[in-house]
């Protein structure tokens, strides 16, 4: 049973934030952070902060009372990263949406942590620049940094690991720290920036983020191509990458995912193993890359390319891909989805997907496979009957087997969902003694264990 918040802390928080600090049950429930298969864990209070000074003051107050602090962006986590496992105060940063600076000549910008990626690109639309990391959900930039997000464009532009240049962080004691300047490289001391990128809020609160930007491509071409099997589709992408083809996006949907997308978006594409592709560059480069990929696809039994050149057609194509998870969830009315992910070296990707689909063929529930196969990452969405405990037990066995297979292939238990509460044991299996080193770092920076406790490791 979690002890009540100290009255002194509540008084101090209300003096600081007024009505933006609340203990209302409905608001706390909205910040419970459940993953699809994990129970909600509401905080005892929610603080809607609007500045670094407010974050620092509130963190100091929580530290003085030994109260847990859970940073919160858009709440899009899938492994219960923002659930309040020990109660405490949820810091909602969604109101911190300022674009602090854009340095067009240097191809970078600095934003507050609550700005979303689509809002950032709206701000940038007249500069000829864009921010490429696209996890699908309209996540906040701070949340994306905290979870080391990636997505559909990672194969060409990288994920948050490659595109965060620096951070402003509030430490567990309320100190404000800038982790790096804007130089594109530095050999000055420890790499503090990437210590916090992917730490899931367990080491401090990310308040500002400096990002790498890219020029908007002169030409963009998107295409859909069906294949006779998962192996044929995956092998085509792997061969293209091994030949140095600069794919901008390479997304895979299996037959079950395509059937769900067809129903949800009133499309009539073949319900088989399918690639969604995108090529960026000068017009002649886009044409050349597309022709080379078509030759590779044809050699693996691929069908005709269906092109989408204009912006509206491309948006419709990627909207269907981005919302495939929702389409799959709707394909079994009343079901509860469980989405999991792994990532393996691309040379093992086809083998991993084929073995995974063989496991699914024996499962007592429907499921679909989709993923960012250009970087070896794929997702499995399991559709579970909440009234059938045997399905949940079978899903747990499937997930354990999937993770073990990925680690055996020298891959990882999660390519982009993160660890949160859901994959703590898998992380130990993957990194072994490395987790003990993480505990040491956590203990040094957060000796009271107040920052997003119980996440990543127990």
Query: Which residue bears the tokens 């499995």?
Result: 380
From the number of C-beta atoms within 10 Å of its C-beta (0-12, 13-18, 19+), residue 14 rates as middle
Q: What's the helix, strand, coil split of the chain in %, to 5?
A: 40, 20, 40
Q: How many CA atoms lie within 13 A of 109 on its CB side?
A: 24
Contact 31, 82 (CB under 8 A): yes
C-alpha 30: how far from its chain's center? 20
Tell me the Ramachandran region of residue 134: left when phi exceeds 0, alpha when psi lies from -120 to 50, beta otherwise: beta
C-alpha 17: how far from its chain's center? 30
User: Domains plus CATH for the chain?
Assistant: 99-215 (3.30.465.10), 220-416 (3.40.462.10)
Alpha carbons 412 and 404: distance in angstroms, whole number? 9
Picking from 380, 343, 387, 345, the residue whose alpha carbon sits closest to that of residue 359 is 380
Cα torsion 179, 185, 190, 191: sign: positive
- pLDDT tens, residue order, the chain (458 aa): 689 999 999 999 999 999 999 999 999 999 998 767 889 999 999 999 999 999 999 999 999 999 999 999 999 888 999 999 999 999 999 999 999 999 999 999 999 999 999 999 999 999 999 999 998 888 999 999 999 999 899 999 999 999 999 999 999 999 999 999 999 999 999 999 999 999 999 999 999 999 999 999 999 999 999 999 999 999 999 999 999 998 999 999 999 999 999 999 888 888 999 999 999 999 999 999 999 999 999 999 999 888 877 788 888 778 888 889 889 989 999 999 999 999 999 999 999 999 999 999 999 999 999 989 889 999 999 999 999 999 999 999 999 999 999 999 999 999 999 999 999 999 999 999 999 999 999 999 999 999 999 999 98
């Amino acid at each position: 049973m979690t002890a009540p918040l100290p009255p002194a802390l509540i008084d101090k928080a209300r003096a600081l934030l007024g009505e933006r600090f609340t203990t209302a049950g409905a608001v706390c429930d909205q910040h419970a952070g459940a993953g699809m298969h994990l129970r909600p864990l509401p905080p005892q209070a929610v603080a809607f902060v609007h500045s670094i000074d407010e974050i620092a003051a509130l963190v100091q107050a929580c530290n003085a009372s030994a109260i847990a602090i859970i940073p919160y962006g858009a709440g899009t986590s899938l492994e219960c990263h923002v659930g309040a496992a020990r109660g405490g105060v949820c810091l909602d940063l969604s109101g911190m949406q300022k674009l602090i600076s854009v340095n067009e000549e240097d191809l970078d910008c600095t934003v507050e942590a609550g700005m979303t990626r689509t809002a950032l690109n709206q701000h940038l639309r007249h500069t000829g620049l864009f921010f490429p990391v696209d996890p699908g959900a309209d996540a906040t930039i701070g949340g994306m940094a905290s979870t080391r997000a990636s997505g559909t464009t990672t194969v060409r532009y990288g994920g948050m690991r490659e595109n965060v240049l620096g951070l402003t962080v509030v430490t567990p004691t309320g100190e404000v720290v800038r982790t790096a300047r804007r130089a594109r490289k530095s050999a000055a001391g420890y790499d503090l920036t990437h210590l916090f990128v992917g730490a899931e809020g367990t080491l401090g609160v990310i308040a500002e983020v400096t990002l790498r930007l890219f020029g908007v491509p002169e030409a963009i071409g998107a295409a859909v191509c069906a294949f006779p099997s998962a192996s044929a589709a995956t092998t085509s992408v792997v061969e293209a990458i091994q030949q140095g083809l600069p794919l901008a996006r390479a997304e895979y949907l299996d037959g079950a995912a395509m059937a769900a997308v067809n129903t949800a978006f009133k499309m009539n594409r073949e319900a088989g193993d399918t690639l969604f592709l995108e090529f960026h560059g000068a017009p002649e480069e886009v044409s050349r890359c597309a022709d080379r990929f078509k030759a590779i696809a044809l050699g693996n039994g691929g069908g005709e390319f269906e092109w989408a050149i204009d912006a509206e057609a491309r948006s419709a194509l990627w909207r269907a891909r981005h919302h495939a998870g929702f389409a799959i969830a709707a394909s079994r009315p009343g079901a509860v989805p469980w989405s999991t992910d792994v990532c393996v070296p691309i040379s093992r990707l086809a083998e991993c997907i084929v073995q995974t689909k063989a496991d699914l063929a024996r499962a007592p529930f429907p499921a679909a496979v989709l993923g960012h196969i250009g970087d070896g990452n794929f997702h499995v969405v399991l559709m579970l009957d909440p009234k059938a405990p045997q399905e949940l037990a079978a899903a747990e066995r499937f997930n354990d087997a999937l993770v073990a297979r990925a680690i055996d292939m020298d891959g990882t238990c999660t390519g982009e969902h993160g660890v949160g509460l859901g994959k703590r044991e898998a992380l130990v299996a993957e990194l072994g003694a490395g987790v003990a080193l993480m505990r040491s770092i956590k203990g040094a920076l957060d000796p009271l264990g107040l920052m997003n406790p119980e996440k990543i490791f127990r």
